[in-house]
Amino acid sequence: MSGVTWRVTEVVFDAASQHAGESLFALGNGYLGTRGSFEEGFPGDWPATFIHGVYDDVPIGHTELANVSNWLPFDLYVEGEHFSLDSGEVLNYQRELVLRQGLLSRTLRWRSPAGRTVDIAVERFVSLADAHLCAIRYQVVPLDFDGQIEWRAGLNGHVENRGVLHWDRLGQGAQSGIVWLRSRTRGTGIELGQAGRLKVTGAEDVTHFCLDCDGQPVAAARARAREGRAIVAEKTVAIFTSRETPDPCAAAIEKLQNLRGGYNDLRTAHLAEWEKYWAVSDAIIEGDDEVQRAVRFGLFHLLAAAPWEDKHVSLGPKALSGFAYRGHVFWDTEVFMLPFFTLTQPGLARNLLMYRYHTLPGARRKAAANGFAGAQYAWESADTGDEVTPTWVPRQNQRDPVRIWTGDLELHISSDVAFAVWQYWQATGDDSFMADYGAEIILDTAVFWSSRVEWNAEKSHYEITNVVGPDEYHDRINNNAFTNDLVRWHMETAQQVWRWLEQKHPARAAELADRLKLQTQTLARWAEVATRLCLPVDPSTGLLEQFEGYFHRRDVNLAEYEPRTVSMQALLGIEEVGKTQILKQPDVLMLFFMLRDRYDQCSLRANWDYYVPRTDHTYGSSLGPPVHALLACEIGEPEAAYRHFCRAAQADLGDVRGNTGDGIHAASAGGLWQAVVFGFGGLRLTPEGWSATPRPPAHWQRLAFRFYYRGKLEEVDWRRETQSK
């Protein structure tokens, strides 16, 4: 197994791309995520740590994950000279993220402005074995002098979310070598407690002391260094919030006081946990190291951010790696990320779906506010499930703001959630989840749709008007094919769930019937809507019209705009691109991605041939390439599949859209895994069982993955030499 495929390595630091590096080298443990900023800082950096569920109020966007006090600061002084990459001379440099182990390391040789040379090796992790612990090991070797080395390991409460301040500092101090910092969010009142300690080994005349700077308590140590001899400092930090304990600062201090062992012990436990998860979640590709690394990179960030213990939080499009989207939750989670967790870490998938169950009250409030029954999920959701999509946002360099319609009109999210619940149940057979939680989600969102559809007496069908489909270049449209057919599926599935619940869990069925006001005529209504809902399709070819009037919009040859480095929306403008047939991302084709068994090959081919040339593949949306890769496998176009797959694989490692600095593309990572497993791996899951017909690219030598089906761990392991015999 090639070690390079488990490592993301940087051998030259480029200040111009440091924000992308901070996202790429982010660490997480399912409780918190920390961007890959340097311990000593760098001019213009964006250091951030986000903790699941720690939201605070913000203008325009309603709420956002609040960047918590920075636990990273670890400053080195060599004979009084402060080490930083923008001073002195960097003689060599390497930064590396070891995906298999969740370790971030940096090694370099630095010559100070005064001419003293040191070798520096820094390694850090956020513990997967104990989610409240983070640790850094900092080794220094003087190469041409004897002298004084000093470390300052601090907690920095002076943090912001790109200009927005979220924290009031309640106190700080030091006791028995432990420094602590206590803060509280200004709007939501969530308390944060952090405590840190510093230990130095391998040196003579070590002196420990503390610095009580305002908002920045520091544990420091000064030691006598000898030429050629390594000195090691270990910083350990404990972090709690009032979401877990009433006195988080006391909990953090107590955690460090009771901690036995040092950095190596914590590291060993951390590595053991990562081994457990990779044993099931890895996808093995031999014969293509770059693609293998990209797949593992994406899976690492998904596993690092997924909430292992918390059933009241979920994953946003940037996981816990960046400021973009404010930590809000979209359809990205259920449609693109959840299948990976459902099949390899079903306990995690259950947690993510429990978030949707716990936010049902917010979904019901949204439906009621819009004049509908049932539960209407928010397009952007946070802690309560209420809609947090901004209505207007400032337009860059222009006076008039931009109207954002997705929160009002991108309604398919309610069926996306129901679809994810159904998928999880079919794959796991988790009847208790379906009876206690999942059925309520599917049924109450069906109640919403039943009240939202409109009867068109002239055409004798139901329709859904004034919506936004997955392709967000077109808004306020009628009868979006994706939305309508997903609702059709939803109405059919809700009937199946209700009948199952009545047969297997009659008491729960009676309770839900009373609370959700479900009656015999309710099921009849669902059946009628499913049968008579408008779906604009050419019966002779299977070609679906994306929405009413789409075929009459201006057709554009995208090749005429090449080469370019921005999206078509950026080139033409928001209003103008909406007048064309250009797509930001798959829309009709999402039906074939999600509901593959409902369509035949002829229909897929007709829609592929029409919509793929009209899609802005490179600069539209990162969600598109993995979808196209999977569907290209379905229609037997391996070269196209691999081309789209590589575009998805480079979403972050190649920073193809120039926005990796805002955070990694978590949904693209989940889609990439689906392209591997369902596309190239040909995995199919049915109520009768599973099958796999691998169809990997010609140069791949092996494709292997594991997954759980109905509680049993299964494996697909395809090898080219086996196939040739």
> Residue 131: how many CA atoms within 13 Å on its side-chain side?
19
Q: From its phi and psi, is residue 189 left (phi > 0), alpha (psi between -120 and 50) or beta?
A: left
H or E stretch including 472? none
Distances (CA, A) of 403 to 183, 367, 394, 445: 36, 21, 9, 26
Active site residue 254: no
- Bridge partners, 50 (sequence order): 33
Q: Do 385 and 335 contact (CB within 8 A), yes or no?
A: no
Tokens of 164: 């927005």
Within 10 angstroms of residue 330's Cβ, the number of other Cβ atoms is 23
- Spot the catalytic one: 39, 334, 380, 472: 472
Q: Do 421 and 489 contact (CB within 8 A), yes or no?
A: no
Tokens of 570: 């950026």
Within 10 angstroms of residue 74's Cβ, the number of other Cβ atoms is 24
Distances (CA, A) of 103 to 11, 92, 201, 352, 589: 17, 20, 21, 25, 39
Work out the angle at residue 471's Cα, subtended by the Cα atoms of residues 467 and 477, and round it to the nearest 5 degrees: 30
3-state SS of 67-107 is CCCECCCEEEEECCEECCCCCCEEEEEEEEEECCCCEEEEE
Within 10 angstroms of residue 311's Cβ, the number of other Cβ atoms is 15
Nearest to 335 by CA among 269, 417, 226, 430: 417
Phi then psi for 702, rounded to 5 degrees?
Answer: -155, 145
Give the DSSP per-residue string, 265-322. Answer: HHHHHHHHHHHHHHHHH-EEEES-HHHHHHHHHHHHHHHHHS-SS-SS----TTTTS-
Phi then psi for 110, rounded to 5 degrees?
Answer: -130, 135
H or E stretch including 149? strand 147-154
Tokens of 101: 């182990």
Strand order in the sheet with 89-98: 7-10, 89-98, 103-111, 117-126, 133-142, 231-241, 191-201, 178-185, 167-175
Residue ranges of alpha helices (H) inside 566-708 are 568-572, 574-577, 588-594, 601-611, 624-634, 638-653, 666-674
Nearest to 343 by CA among 59, 678, 68: 678
Nearest to 47 by CA among 72, 83, 75, 76: 72
Q: In angstroms, how far is the first alpha carbon of the chain from the final one?
A: 23
Distance CA 593, CA 527 (A): 24
Residue 715, helix vs strand vs coil? strand
Q: Is 204 exposed, middle or buried (0-12, 13-18, 19+ CB in 10 A)?
A: exposed
Distance CA 350, CA 514 (A): 26
H or E stretch including 453? none
Residue 646, helix vs strand vs coil? helix
3-state SS of 32-66 is EEECCCCCCCCCCCCCCEEECCCEEEECCCEEEEC
Residues marked as catalytic: 472
